[in-house]
Amino acid sequence: MTTTAVTHIASLVTNDPSLGNGTPLGLTQDAAVVIEGDRIVWTGESSKAPATDNVLDAAGRAVIPGFVDSHSHLVFAGDRTQEFNARMSGQPYRAGGIRTTVAATRAATDEELSANVARYLAEALRQGTTTFETKSGYGLTVEDEARALRIAGRHTDEVTYLGAHIVSPDYADDPAGYVDLVTGPMLEACAPHARWIDVFCEQGAFDGDQARAILTAGLAKGLQPRIHANQLSYGPGVQLAVELGAASADHCTHLTDADVDALGQGSTVATLLPGAEFSTRATWPDARRLLDAGATVALSTDCNPGSSFTSSMPFCVALAVRDMGMTPDEAIWSATAGGAAALRRTDIGRITPGARADLVLLDAPSHVHLAYRPGVPLVSAVWRSGQRVV
Ligand code: NIG
Ligand code: FE
């Protein structure tokens, strides 16, 4: 198998707290990383790197693990520029906007949907994302949801069934009937194509009882739960996530002290999606409050055409540092190891022997520049599974 060394890394984020400066980032200076096949096989002082087939001299630049974007909605068609314009003129964001994308997605061909996913993935990859999760949720019929998951599965292993995004317009007068569909025939058709099940637990979408019924049905079919929780208002989503042992409660924008305590004590990751607050002009989630309570925090894009049309993890990192009380170190951890935790993965989000060789070389001397130089394309090279892809 071919071996490659990246040498003279000014600052290497390993996310192994036993290495380097003893912080969660496991930051090491003047380092090297050796890749063999799709794995990392060695890290250490650059001068001690073993001989390899290929060498890339990082020449004093920084290397971080590939970003793990654990929350996106990429199987969609159409565009909501008008809705965004209206919001920027003072209209509030409402869950009902999802219906616009549902109509466009149903009308699109498989090829159009797949090309759209590929396009946003390529965009994300150029910005350092090497793993991403994506969801259905813009089909809302048995056939359209199953099709969205099949298409998502061509691009990633982290696929989430979100038939419970909103009540389908076809069931506007019969929400209970829609929950029966989501937990019955739609689940039957979708479960083979997904790893996760999600529900938008919110006013205008699904209440706590409906969300519990949906996630419990998914669990019985072998799907693991994650929840859109407490995004637009206070509500039962976070407590339900913790009660069910969900991998992640996503958004966490409106939290009571009890919600924060539950996330601080449980194993459910709090995934914060600053692109959504940016694009809906909403209150920022308070990452500091969650971190101080002991919660594991992930950062993710929520990339979707309605509430957060960004595929950029560096942008989310910059927002989290500027407006959500995170330090640059915490934000980088949350965008890499935090995302891996939200997907219950141990093979990604770190640069240590045995991990998948997902690396980002930055045109900067340290990871801090991702927040310090917002909006600047600092990603210089990306390896995914040991292959140089950017
Ligand atoms: O995570 N909150 C629910 N779903 C998406 C928004 C989807 C849309 O507006 O199309 C979100 O923000
Ligand atoms: Fe979302």
Q: Domain end: 321, 342, 363, which one?
A: 342
Number of domains into which the chain is organized: 2
Does 251 show up as a binding residue in the annotation?
Answer: no
Residues sharing a CB contact under 8 Å with residue 314, sequence separation 6 or more, in sequence order:
127, 128, 370, 374, 378, 379
Q: What pLDDT score was predicted for residue 199?
A: 98
Mean pLDDT of the chain: 98
CA angle, residues 183, 136, 164, in degrees to nearest 5? 35
Ligand showing the shortest atom-to-Cα distance for residue 71: 2
* Cα separation, 154 vs 353, whole angstroms: 28
* Cα separation, 145 vs 149, whole angstroms: 6
Query: 66 CA to middle of ligand 1, Å?
Result: 25
Q: Strands, E, within the chain: which ranges?
A: 3-12, 28-36, 39-45, 54-57, 62-65, 67-69, 129-135, 158-164, 196-201, 224-229, 248-251, 269-272, 297-299, 359-362, 379-384, 387-388
Residue nearest to atom 3 of ligand 1 (CA): 200
24 shares its domain with 102:
no
* Cα separation, 32 vs 6, whole angstroms: 5
CATH number at residue 38: 2.30.40.10
Q: What pLDDT score was predicted for residue 22?
A: 86
- Residue 224 or residue 96, greater confidence: 224
**Location of structure tokens 């982290």:** 158
Does 307 show up as a binding residue in the annotation?
Answer: yes
Tokens of 169: 């317009």
49 shares its domain with 82:
no
7 shares its domain with 105:
no
Number of residues assigned to the chain: 390
183 shares its domain with 116:
yes
Q: Which domain holds residue 379?
A: 3-66+349-388
272 shares its domain with 184:
yes
Percentage of the chain with pLDDT > 70? Answer: 100
Tokens of 323: 């407006």
Burial 94-124 (b: 16+ CB within 10 A, else e): ebebbbbbbebbeebeeeebbebbeebbeeb
Residue nearest to atom 1 of ligand 1 (CA): 302
Does pTM surpass 0.75?
yes
pLDDT tens-digit readout, 245-254 = 999 999 999 9
Question: What is the number of the ligand 1 atom nearest to the C-alpha of 71?
Answer: 1
CA angle, residues 9, 14, 19, in degrees to nearest 5? 100
Q: What pLDDT score was predicted for residue 95?
A: 84
* Cα separation, 26 vs 206, whole angstroms: 41
Is residue 96 very low, low, confident or very high in pLDDT (cuts 50, 70, 90)? Answer: confident
Q: Which of 71, 73, 166 to probe ligand 1 with, by most ligand atoms within 8 A of CB?
A: 73
* Cα separation, 379 vs 377, whole angstroms: 6
265 shares its domain with 174:
yes
Phi then psi for 54, rounded to 5 degrees? -125, 150
pLDDT tens-digit readout, 38-65 = 999 999 999 999 999 999 999 999 999 9
Is residue 80 very low, low, confident or very high in pLDDT (cuts 50, 70, 90)? Answer: very high
118 shares its domain with 7:
no
On the 0-12 / 13-18 / 19+ scale of CB atoms within 10 A, 385 is middle
Does 85 show up as a binding residue in the annotation?
Answer: no
Q: What pLDDT score was predicted for residue 20?
A: 85
Question: What average pLDDT does this structure show over 162-168?
Answer: 98
Span between the terminal Cα atoms of the chain, in Å: 21
CATH number at residue 87: 3.20.20.140
176 shares its domain with 48:
no
Residue ranges with CB less than 5 Å from ion ligand 2: 302
Cβ distance 302 to 137 under 8 Å? no
* Cα separation, 42 vs 31, whole angstroms: 11
DSSP secondary structure letter of residue 32:
E
Q: What pLDDT score was predicted for residue 353?
A: 98
- Quick check: 107 pLDDT over 90? yes
* Cα separation, 164 vs 282, whole angstroms: 23
81 shares its domain with 57:
no
226 shares its domain with 264:
yes
- Quick check: 138 pLDDT over 90? yes
Question: What average pLDDT does this structure show over 152-179?
Answer: 98
Question: What average pLDDT does this structure show over 70-85?
Answer: 97
Q: What pLDDT score was predicted for residue 233?
A: 97
pLDDT tens-digit readout, 193-223 = 999 999 999 999 999 999 999 999 999 999 9
- For residue 383, the number of C-alpha atoms closer than 13 Å in the C-beta half-sphere is 27
* Cα separation, 32 vs 44, whole angstroms: 6
377 shares its domain with 240:
no
Is residue 388 very low, low, confident or very high in pLDDT (cuts 50, 70, 90)? Answer: very high
- Quick check: 332 pLDDT over 90? yes
Does 138 show up as a binding residue in the annotation?
Answer: yes
152 shares its domain with 41:
no
Q: What pLDDT score was predicted for residue 155?
A: 98
